[in-house]
Amino acid sequence: MIQSLHTFCFSKLRLTITPLLLLFIQSALSQSVPDVFDKYTSVGQLGLTVTNFGVLGNGWNRINGRILPSSQYKQHTENLREQVEHFSSAGLWVGGIVNGERRVSTAIVDGVFESGQEGFEFIATSGMEIKSSISSTSQDSMAQFYSPYAVSHQDLITDFKDFGENPSDNFGIPNHTPLGVSIHLEAYAWNFTYADAFVLLNYTITNQSEETIENIYTGIWTDASVANMNYTNRYEPGGGFTWYDNLDGFDRSVDGGGFTRDLSYQYDLDGDAGWAESYIGLKVLGSTVPRPYLRSNHNQWVWTTSTNTDYPDFGMPLNDSERYKQLSTSVRRGSGEAFTEAGYPSNANSWLFMLSTGPLGTEPISADSSKWQLSPGESVNVIFATVAARWNGGGEDSHNRRANFHVNADWAQRAFDGEDKNRNNHLDEGEDIDYDGEIDRYILPAPPPVPNMTVDVGDQTVTVYWADNAEDFIDPISRQKDFEGYRVYGARKTAGGETAEFTLLAEFDQSDSTFRHIGYNTGFDAVRITNDFGEPDSIEIEGNAYHYRFTNNNVKNGWLNYYAVTAYDRGDPEANLGSLESSPYANRVYVYPGAKTVTNNWTLEPGVYPNPYQGQAVWEGYGSRERMIWFTNLPRMAEIRIFTLAGDLVDVLQHDSPTYAGADIQNIDQYKSPNFGGGEHAWDLITQHDQALASGLYLFTVENQDEKSSSFGQVKEGKFLVIK
């Protein structure tokens, strides 16, 4: 018997999760199974954790001191108010009828705490494969996974099942009667600015048993709670995380194609004073079963509450029969003061929600196609979308406030539809039901690719270089080269992180006569790299060729800045598409401007800034370990020693310019991989005895330890003042 050793410890008052489902152990029969994996979608703005055991989200687990995205939107932003998390965990439910018996297999249910308990009913059968359609060298993290067979910018691919050694083996989980199904999951994410707020979940369910399964329904159980961790940790009183201020809804508005959106969603009731103004939702995009016969069902209940006196119809299912009933039907809506206009509870609480769909199968077993079956060995496919969006304005939940939500959900639908204009939905009377496997799905209009980019950092200056790789791009819809120009963005990270993300520094546009109505027609001469004869040329940096150069001067040293270069196209009027632009988040580079490395004769005098240091520098965070001063004008290799006036040693810093990444202080986020000038080193004012530095005058020495320097071994002195 295979025993799954996954521990999931949490309470609704305070969430504490051990590293998510750390491993599977060998069974008593010494049968080995894959290790458990969880990865999160990192290319777009929705960071969604996907696992190989049916669970979505990571419970906001802290790994190596860092909370990775569980279902965070936006994840690539320096605006702290927009870094909103949406659920701790979610998971797949699959139900069906076998020989008249209702069976449901679940990835997770309310109140599960340890391995072997009812509810954790899927086991991994593979690791986690990653594929990417990105080949650009400017995005090394995804380019290493490039595959011509990738669907999206980031495919996460895995497999799991609901049984052990055979389809009837429940691997010791109480009240678990397997359906005998295996699940193949492919999650798709894009970095396009119009398609970065959703992740598609493509499930293929295969009947591995010898029994026919009738009327399969599948859904995603979601332990949602819309909250912002920055608001929780840093702003008291009035801050603080709570599960109990959220509401659910089911949006049946009609999209531009005349179809109901059927969005199950949740939001924070008051938006936490602007820190949680975000929606999270689920949508069924399609299935092997044509959409006219596919239903979407919404259910919700309060965490671990099976009997709700305020809302009797909104209770937690307790067994497979009740779970199947909820999978296959929508909760009955109410009316009156206790309900919203749409018929759902109006009292904020720790609401879960589940969107389900069915019936699923490969062939109908009723004349009206209301019943389907999945025979042994056959597979059925169903695709969900997890969608997020910022509120469109304030006020109460409304169609207008959900406008951004609708736009993102509609793009998710369009991503699934691809070039199937009719969505395989409009069947004429008497027409045979036929799932068209030739439909070219997941084809989205694409801006030019992200330009390959690098930066050079110096004293109050940053030079941005980029390649011309976007200029020969052929749009997948129009089949034309429609590159038009470049935009250069920059911004400085400020305390609190509530400013606009990017500032447009410059725009360069083709100066052609055909499309003079697009852009400023500046041409590229101002940034093009040329040879001695004025001809277009390139410069090689670390083995890569770059064709354009833009210099940003008068940039303040010591501040975290970031830069990006995008490419945009002419748009496609025939497809009713405006100009599309590549994502500035895709090649954003972080820098700390500062003095460059002294590589030969060290003639400069080392210094410190800010000097004097008065209580707190404006670039710092809120914690006592988020302070920072900079030693500047350093040689390539150096030892910095800090002393009191009495000569007591305070701290020793080892500076190695080629490898320096600010790893020795908390105020520099290593995950941003910032670039430095090389001639500066930050210090957090924490002594070698792990104590905060007191007010006073301090001395320091810098010894040149660069053996290649003509001034190797030279020592220079300086001083700085700390005022608290």
Q: Summarize pLDDT for 355-370 with one digit per residue, the tens.
A: 999 999 999 998 888 9
Does residue 3 register a pLDDT over 60? Answer: no
Q: How confident is the model at residue 246 (pLDDT cuts 50, 70, 90)?
A: very high
Q: For 580-589, what is each residue's pLDDT tens digit?
A: 999 999 899 9
The alpha helices in 121-252, defined as continuous H runs, are 140-143, 229-234
Section 99-106 average pLDDT = 97
Tokens of 542: 């670390």
Question: Residue 126's CB: how many other CB atoms inside 10 A?
Answer: 15
Does residue 680 register a pLDDT over 80? Answer: yes
Section 522-533 average pLDDT = 93
Which helix or strand (DSSP H or E) is residue 715 part of? strand 715-723
Does residue 282 register a pLDDT over 70? Answer: yes
Q: How confident is the model at residue 445 (pLDDT cuts 50, 70, 90)?
A: confident
d(CA 565, CA 560): 18
Lowest-confidence pick of 78-87, 110-119, 482-491, 700-709: 110-119
Q: How confident is the model at residue 269 (pLDDT cuts 50, 70, 90)?
A: very high
The alpha helices in 171-314, defined as continuous H runs, are 229-234
Section 472-476 average pLDDT = 86
Lowest-confidence pick of 421-430, 532-541, 610-619: 421-430
Question: Which residue reads 């000097």 in tokens?
Answer: 611
In the chain, the percentage of residues whose pLDDT exceeds 90 is 68
Specify the 3-state DSSP secondary structure of 405.
Answer: helix
Q: How confident is the model at residue 33 (pLDDT cuts 50, 70, 90)?
A: low
In the chain, the percentage of residues whose pLDDT exceeds 70 is 86
Q: How confident is the model at residue 258 (pLDDT cuts 50, 70, 90)?
A: confident
Strand partners, 383: 202, 286
Between vectors from CA 182 to CA 179 and to CA 188, what angle results, nearest 5°? 130
Tokens of 299: 């259910």
Q: How confident is the model at residue 112 (pLDDT cuts 50, 70, 90)?
A: confident
pLDDT reported for residue 34: 65
Cβ 409 vs Cβ 198: under 8 Å: yes
Section 541-556 average pLDDT = 95
Please state, rounded to an integer, the average pLDDT across all residues of the chain.
Answer: 87
Tokens of 16: 């504490």
Look at residues 137, 131, 45 and name the one whose alpha carbon lies nearest to residue 451.
137
Has this prediction a pTM greater than 0.85?
yes
Strand partners, 720: 698
pLDDT reported for residue 429: 35
- Chain-centroid distance, C-alpha 475: 26
Question: Residue 251's CB: how many other CB atoms inside 10 A?
Answer: 21
pLDDT reported for residue 6: 32
Could you tell me how many helices (H) and strands (E) the chain has, helices first? 4, 40
Q: For 145-199, what is each residue's pLDDT tens digit?
A: 999 999 999 999 999 999 999 999 998 999 999 999 999 999 999 999 999 999 9
> Which carries the bigger pLDDT value, residue 680 or residue 142?
680
Does residue 29 register a pLDDT over 70? Answer: no
* DSSP string for 381-404: EEEEEEEEEE-SSSSSS-TTTTHH
Tokens of 358: 């069915």
Close Cβ partners of 167 (under 8 Å, ≥ 6 residues apart): 178, 180, 208, 209, 210
d(CA 592, CA 563): 11
pLDDT reported for residue 623: 64
pLDDT reported for residue 273: 87
Q: What is the dihedral of CA 302, 304, 308, 310, to 10 degrees?
A: -30
Section 397-402 average pLDDT = 96
Section 606-633 average pLDDT = 83
Q: Kindly state the DSSP code that residue 565 receives in the 8-state scheme.
A: E
Cβ 431 vs Cβ 369: under 8 Å: no
pLDDT reported for residue 617: 66
Question: Residue 522's CB: how many other CB atoms inside 10 A?
Answer: 15
pLDDT reported for residue 426: 37
Q: How confident is the model at residue 689 (pLDDT cuts 50, 70, 90)?
A: very high
Q: How confident is the model at residue 22 (pLDDT cuts 50, 70, 90)?
A: very low
